[in-house]
Each structure stands twice: as C-alpha cells, then as structure tokens.
Amino acid sequence: MQGSALPTPPAVTERCDAVVLGAGISGLVSASVLLEQGCERVIIVEEYPHIGGNHIDWSSDGYTFDIGSIIFQDDSPLLKHFPELLEHYVRIDPSWSRLTPQGIVTAYPISVRDDILAAGPIEISKILASVVYARVFRRKMRNAKEFAQFWIGDRLLQRSGLDSYMTRFYGVSSDQIDIELARKRMLWISEHSSLRSLLARLTKPKPPPPTNRQLARPREGYGHLYAVAAARLAKRGASIITHARMHRLEKRDGYFRLALDDKVILAERVISTIPLMRIEALCNLPISDKLETITLLTLYFSFSGERGFGETILYNFSHKGAWKRLTVYSDFYGRRGDREYFAVEVIANHIQGSVVKAEKDFRDHVAANGLFAGDLNLEGSQFLKNAYPIYKGRSDQKAAKAIQALTALGIESFGRQGGFNYQPTARVSTLEAEAALRRASGL
C-alpha cells in the first residue's frame, strides 16, 4: 500500500484471520459468513459508538423513533445468520400510501383508479398519447427521468408525482439521476406499466397478500436487537470494537495492519463495508470526491388530534413540500398516553441543512393538505451523513474504479457504503454480502 510507514506500534497487537470494517448489516453478515468459511478469529471495527450501522433509533421522554423507515420480514436471510433475532422483533401490519399532487392520499406507488381513471376521458387520452409518443420517440434512455417517461409517459410521470418524489429521494433532479440506477432499482415501473400489466390490474382480482410476516425492531431500540447478534458472533469467534478511531491501513509482510488509537490489528484479510472515501483515506489512496452521498435529516414529532390518513407509512409524491416520507411508529408500538408519534425524512440539502426550515416546510405542507389537525409537537431531530448514494455523473463507474483500486490491494469492499450501492432492505444487504464473499472464495 501507498503511504508513509506507521509510527512505532502501540503495545497491544491483536491478530485475526479477517477484520471487517463496519458493523452494519453487511458487516455483521460478512463476519458470520467468514466464520462459516473457516475463519477462527474475526474482528469487526466500527467507528460509530453502536452496532447496526445506519439502523439508528432516538429516544426522549418516553418516545423512541427511528432514522428512516426500516421493516424486516420473518423469512429474511438475515435470520439464517442470527435466528435469535426473531423473538425480539415486534410483529406489525404496516400499510403504505402516498400523497399525490392532487392532494389525495392513495395507493403507493401508483393507483390506476386515482392516477388514471379519475383523470377523466380527456386527460386519459393525453396520458395514453404521452405513452405512445414516448415509446416511439424516447427509446434512448440516458437518465432516470427518460426511463420513467418511456414506460409511463411524461403526462403520468407528472400527474402521479413520481418525478417530484424521485428528486426528493435522490437529492438531485430526475434528469441527473444515472440510468444505471433506474435499471437496477426502478424496474417496478416497467413491470407495472406494460399494457398486459395494466389490463390485469383492471380485470383480475387483487392478488393475495404475501405470506411472510412484517417485523419492526424492539420497542427498546436497535441496541437491544443487535446485542443479540453480537452475542452470537462472540460465541463463534468474532469480537466487535465500537467507537474506534481508525488511522491507517496498510499491508506489510503478508499482513494487513490496521492502526487504531490503542492497538494495531494484524489480519490476513480485510472486508470493508464503510464508505468508499473513508477506506480510500485509510489506505492513502486518491479520494473519490465526486462520489456524493445523501445527508438525511429526520424530524421526530408527537401528535394529538385527527390524522388525515390511516396508513402507517406515507410518501410525499406531491409537487410541494421537502419531506419525502413519514412513518407512524405509534402504529407499531402503541401511543404514549393520548399521543401518536412519527418520524419525517427530509434530504438535508433541500432545506439548506436547517431543522427550522424543515419543520416549517413540513407544518405548512401538511396543514395545506389536511394531514394533521390538532397538536403537533417537534420532539427532536437528527442528521445522518452517508445515508445512501447519490447516483449522478456516472457515479457507478467512479465507484467501480475505486473498488478496483481497493481490490488490487487485496481489500474486499461492498455493501451500501463499501460498494456505493443503494440497498433498500436488510434482505438485499444480506444476500449481496453473502454473494460477494462466496465469489471471493470461489464458491
């Protein structure tokens, strides 16, 4: 590796078969897979003071909120690694909806009835003409907006609010979002917008609900949940160091040397699930400064009064309002006294990183749409850096180049952070971590 030699190492030196950087889902699963593959000693190093990565809760005055909306399933592959988690989850029955530009709360992600049929015959004809035009003249798709236009036409893209939501979610306008992301993460648009699919949805009965059960973290928070995973890993030969300050990672004499404040870890193998720019800095590699990530602001509210929707999770598809999604956690855990409580997600750059602006924007918008009538109180807020990647300017190619440079040094980097790869669920993170390590082992 590049860089100057390490200073005289601290007195404590720990040796292991593999060191895993990051104790999120990808890191925890990686440690489990490495132990399955024959590693006897694995050390997980986490710079956060907790394990679980971006699965973070926030508690105050009897309320416990989450950063984001995180739901698990009882058939998740994560439970193959940590079966003890199942008894600690709370079984839930969530429902999803969205607020449209017309001020209607309706089905997520799209409603044939409200987005198309309710538009009336003239607008329906314009929607259909827009789709035909796109299929004939917009076959070249260079970004997420053109991908969506091709499949549902620009008319429905605007009427449904999908274009506004894409901008809220990814932090940049939809015409700047790389086409590679659309092809990987927005396939539901093509799957739901073919003529055959639309006819089936209009003529066939509603399909039965999934057979798996939906789960949420325990009422006590993620710390209570992931302590169970840590205990299982410890029994199998893994240890976790949290609140660690990592200074340098280099390879000498056939071993990777990771310098912390109080020790050096020697390992034959390094698995990185931390942000690419962070691991590049540790290895003294050129920093991929063009790889941008979302900073997420979450507002925590309590409420007493009349709620203008019945669903647990509400997405903002309207053309106004900076907030992108809210999750009513009291639907999972019960009210605190007579008060409901929920978390609201906002991309920080949409409100200039201001909690005051985010709160005012949210209050004004929900009041205009009749979503909360009563006493709405902000209990707290929290910022989260590196929440997920921003896909623009061929960022996938830049990330691939950075990963290739790490691979040349013998470092395996993957996951939401380590692979600059948006992973929407713990299921996806688990499967991709398993696949990456099995490929590396030739299995």
Total residue count of the chain as it appears in this document: 443
Show the DSSP H helices in 143-302 as ranges: 144-160, 162-170, 179-185, 187-193, 195-203, 222-236, 276-282
Exposure string for 64-78, b = 16+ CB within 10 A, e = fewer:
bbbbbbbbbbeebbb
Is the pLDDT score of 422 beyond 90?
Answer: no
Tokens 């789709």 -> residue: 131
Mean pLDDT of 405-410: 96
pLDDT at 3: 46
**Residue 386 near residue 149, CB atoms below 8 Å:** no
CATH architecture of 12-54+76-89+219-291+393-440: 3-Layer(bba) Sandwich (3.50)
Residue 331 near residue 310, CB atoms below 8 Å: no
Average pLDDT of span 216-224: 94
* Cα Rg, the chain, nearest whole Å: 23
The mean pLDDT of the chain is 91
**3-12, 334-343, 407-416: the lowest-pLDDT one:** 3-12
Instruction: Tell me which of 177 and 377 has the higher pLDDT.
Output: 377
pLDDT of residue 7: 54
Which is more confident, 181 or 18?
18
Helices 25-36 and 222-236 sit at what angle, rounded to 10 degrees? 20
Instruction: Report DSSP letters for 17-67, one per residue.
Output: EEEEE--SHHHHHHHHHHHHTT-S-EEEE-SSSSSSTT--EEEETTEEEES
> Phi first, then psi: what are they for 285, rounded to 5°?
-95, 160
Q: Convert the pLDDT of each residue in 122-150 to its tens digit.
A: 999 999 999 999 999 888 899 999 999 99
Q: Using an 8 Å Cβ cutoff, are 167 and 174 in contact?
A: yes
pLDDT band of residue 2 (cuts 50, 70, 90) is very low
Do 16 and 258 meet the contact criterion of CB atoms below 8 Å apart? no
Paired residues of 240 in beta bridges: 44
CA 377 – CA 180 distance, rounded (Å) = 40
Q: Which of 52, 34, 55, 54 is nearest to 43 (CA)?
A: 34
pLDDT of residue 183: 77
Determine the pLDDT at residue 1.
47
The C-alpha atoms of residue 218 and residue 10 are separated, in whole angstroms, by: 40
Average pLDDT over residues 342-363: 96
pLDDT above 70 covers a percentage of the chain that reads 92
Residue (of 29, 136, 161) closest to 431 by Cα position: 29
Domain boundaries along the sequence of the chain: 12-54+76-89+219-291+393-440, 111-203
Give the whole-angstrom CA distance, residue 152 versus residue 159.
11
Residue 79 tokens read as 């439970």
* pLDDT surpasses 60 at 199: no
* Residue among 378, 216, 382 nearest 313 (CA): 216
Side chain identity at 139, as an amino acid letter?
R
Give φ, ψ of 147 to 5 degrees: -60, -50
User: In this predicted model, what pLDDT tens digit does every residue of 365-374 receive, in sequence order?
Assistant: 999 999 999 9
pLDDT over 90 percentage in the chain? 78
Q: Is the Cβ–Cβ distance between 379 and 300 less than 8 Å?
A: yes
**What span, in angstroms and rounded, lies between the C-alpha atoms of 438 and 422?**
20
Overall average pLDDT of the 105-116 stretch: 93
* Dihedral over Cα of 25, 30, 33, 38: its sign: negative
Q: What's the pLDDT tens digit per position in 52-82? A: 999 999 999 999 999 988 999 999 999 999 9
The reply to whether the predicted model has a pTM over 0.75 is yes
Structure confidence by residue, pLDDT tens digits, 39-49: 999 999 999 99
pLDDT at 191: 65
User: Distance between CA atoms of 32 and 30, rounded to whole angstroms?
Assistant: 5
Pinpoint the alpha helices (H) of 246-329.
276-282
**Of 166-180, 183-197, 299-313, which range is least confident?**
183-197
Q: What angle do CA 53, 72, 23 make, to 5 degrees?
A: 20
Locate 31 and state its tokens: 């440690």
pLDDT surpassing 70 at residue 203: no
Helix axes 144-160, 162-170, angle to 10 degrees: 130
Q: Are 369 and 258 in contact (CB under 8 A)?
A: no
Which amino acid would we find at residue 332?
F
Closest by Cα among 74, 79, 100 to 165: 100
